Amino acid sequence: MKNRSAQKDPRLTLVGAGPGDPELITLKAIKALQAADVVLYDALVSQQILELIPAGVPAFSVGKRAGEHSYKQEEINELIVEFAFQYGHVVRLKGGDPFVFGRGSEEIDFAESQGVPTAVVPGISSALAVPASLHIPVTARGFSESLWVVTATTRTGALSGDIALAAQSTATVVILMGLGRLTEIMTQFEAQGKGNVPVAVIQNGTLPQQQSVVGTVASIATQAADAGIGAPAVIIVGEVVRYARALEHVVVATKSMA
């Protein structure tokens, strides 16, 4: 690659692109993109957001998706540092918020260990924005006083033990990256006698192609399969799901939630 910025100091800005809707990216994130010398972006960053990258600025996909990882995290870390010394200002563009299951801290730690100064631009997390897209508040007086945000699996691929702990609480539980383990996850809630608790599963939240199903702990796995819901999807468990609006592309299990 041609060295475009031999006179520029290396630096990294970790930027959250938001939950998907290009209008939900922050002004500060846009300014960071406009000042980029090179961009490394994830798979969930929409084409409309990528179009905000100035013409002539190199942009490389380093996205990781279930079953089709293009780069290991260690390789991404190395690329960030390599490009910082080659180009100058690296913008690492990640879906949602880079500090909510985005491994942003790992990238910052590695860059700083190699002498690359860093900055962070937070993004709107899908854990909050996607429920809101169906008018589901993650907390609501009289329904939920707290919120759990849980990733479905550990780094070894095992089901997270925090799901069983969350199932014991009265909190709203938002589960990210869990669609493939939906039946197992709901079993944890059923074990706590919560078969009738409302659940929503939302695919492509905040985007025009958003699809959702709303049911209960006991019914949602079958409903999601029948509706063809796929990844990426956010799972919301809790009484607050009763606020869900029957928007377009939403299937509501009215009988099971009565």
**Is 124:28 a contact under the CB 8 Å cutoff?**
no
pLDDT in tens, 199-257: 999 999 999 999 999 999 999 999 999 999 999 999 999 999 999 985 444 444 433 34
**Is 241:55 a contact under the CB 8 Å cutoff?**
no
> First and final CA of the chain: distance in angstroms?
61
Catalytic residues: 42, 64, 177
pTM: 0.88
If you count them, how many residues does the chain have?
258
- The amino acid at residue 71 is Y
Q: Is 240 helix (H, G, I), strand (E, B) or coil?
A: helix
| Sign of CA pseudo-dihedral 21, 26, 32, 35 | positive
pLDDT in tens, 26-53: 999 999 999 999 999 998 899 999 999 9
